Structure 1
Amino acid sequence: MTEVMTDERAIIEVGMRYARSIDTRDQEKFMSCFTPDAAFGLPKLRSNLVLDQSLAFLNELFSATQHVTTQFQVEVSGDEASMTSYYIATHVWRKQLSDPLFVMGGFYEDSLIRTPDGWRIRDRLLVNVWVTGDRDAIAAAGMAELVQ
């Protein structure tokens, strides 16, 4: 296996670890996906999520989540890389609503860097393409930018 293929596989693993760590609420694995100064956000709101608090936020709102990530496209250039991947994220609200699910789909645009501990995301742009669910509840939960 070539070094580029090995790097591509390691980078894709970061994307898969991200999804698993959210759904299992594994803070340590979640944080291991990112550089300490990583930016994460939507096109309109960069760095809108405080990474070390985001799993607690999700756990407060949702009893379960499932993030399915596919179609990984990776480009490696030395110790830097970019990755695009598609996602469908299903969220089950803790509170009783007329629609118990909040589901969104779109893609991530990632910039990664090789560190002594392996590949890490230094910038993740979440590009939401569609959303289903109770839009008022989504907005009230502080996620209005997802439904605009």
Structure 2
Amino acid sequence: MLHSGRQAAPAESRLAALLDREEISGLVDRYVVGLDTAQDPAQDIEWYRRIFTEDVRLSFPIGERRGLDGLAEFQRRARLTWQSTLHVSANHVVDLDGDRAAVRVQILGTHVEYGVPTAGLEHATRFDMGGYYDVTAVRGPDGWRIDDLSFTVVWTSGAGRPNADYSAAG
């Protein structure tokens, strides 16, 4: 018995929940790491298919996407707007409900203008942001996949500017 008077869930079900949370958190981590390497040709539709459902909905300040078609190019163009980027996610809170999960993830990102040295970056040449992802994940025949991801910006800092040739419309 636990101190609250409730009986602990069987070890098998606790282990299954732990493994589900780990798999879902891993999907988010893979995507966040992929933000900084989206220009890599290996990040094609098959790469994204291991993270997202076919009809995923993605919502960002730079635009909204539905489905996997064109997603690799959309992410590549967003990445190439900057000379370099670094995104970090933390505090993955995963609430399981059968074959669905609601996830909240904190995210920090730094974006560096083209043509500047990356050592001793000045505030004027980078754009930093902090916010969070709200994610819905679903379990399917191939395991967990992200079905919906929405990014909310909480704060921004810096005067860095994206490459003028960028267009979210692609």
Identity value in percent: 28
Distance 1:43 1:55 in 2: 13
Most deviating of 40-49 and 76-85: 40-49
1:24-63, aligned counterparts within 5 Å? 24-25=37-38, 26=40, 27-28=43-44, 29-42=47-60, 46-47=64-65, 51-63=71-83
Question: 1:17, 1:30 within 8 Å by CA — same for their partners in 2?
Answer: no
> Aligned partners of 2:79 and 2:153: how far apart in 1?
21
1:39–1:98: structure 2 CA closer, same or farther, 3 Å change rule? same
CA shift, 1:134, in A, is 2.5
**What does the per-residue CA deviation read over 1:84-107, in whole Å, with 9 as the maximum and x for residues that have no partner?**
000001111225698221111100
CA change 1:142–1:37 in 2 (3 A) is same
Q: Distance in 2 between matches of 1:43 and 1:56?
A: 16
Question: What does residue 85 of structure 2 align with?
Answer: 65
CA distance, structure 2, for counterparts of residue 87 and residue 72 of structure 1: 10
| Corresponding residue for residue 146 of structure 1 | none
Q: TM-score, normalised by structure 2?
A: 0.70
CA distance in structure 2 between the partners assigned to 1:105 and 1:3 by the alignment: 32
Structure in which a larger fraction of residues adopt helix: 1
Cα distance change, pair 95–115 in 1 and its aligned pair in 2 (3 A): farther
Confirm or deny that 1:106 pairs with 2:126.
no
Tell me the amino acid that sits aligned with residue 65 of structure 2.
S
CA spacing shift, 1:134–1:31, aligned 2, 3 Å: farther
Which structure's CA Rg is the greater one? 2
TM-score relative to the length of structure 1:
0.80
Question: Using the alignment, how far apart are the partners of 1:142 and 1:15 within structure 2?
Answer: 25
Q: CA deviation at 1:12?
A: 0.5
Count of residue pairs the alignment pairs up: 142
Q: CA deviation at 1:79?
A: 1.1
Cα distance in 1 for residues equivalent to 2:24 and 2:126: 30
Opposite residue 3 of structure 1, the aligned amino acid is A
AA matched with 2:53: T
Q: Which runs of 5+ in 1 are unaligned?
A: 144-148
Change (3 A) 1:43 1:61: closer
Corresponding letter in the other structure for 1:108: Y
Structure 2: runs of 5 or more not aligned? 1-13, 117-121
Contact conserved, 1:71 with 1:86, CA < 8 A, in 2?
Answer: yes
Q: How does 1:62-141 map to 2 (within 5 A)?
A: 62-95=82-115, 99-134=124-159, 137=161, 141=166
- Answering whether residue 33 of structure 2 is matched by residue 15 of structure 1, we say no
Once residues 19 and 44 of structure 1 are traced to their aligned partners in structure 2, the CA distance between those partners, rounded to angstroms, is 16
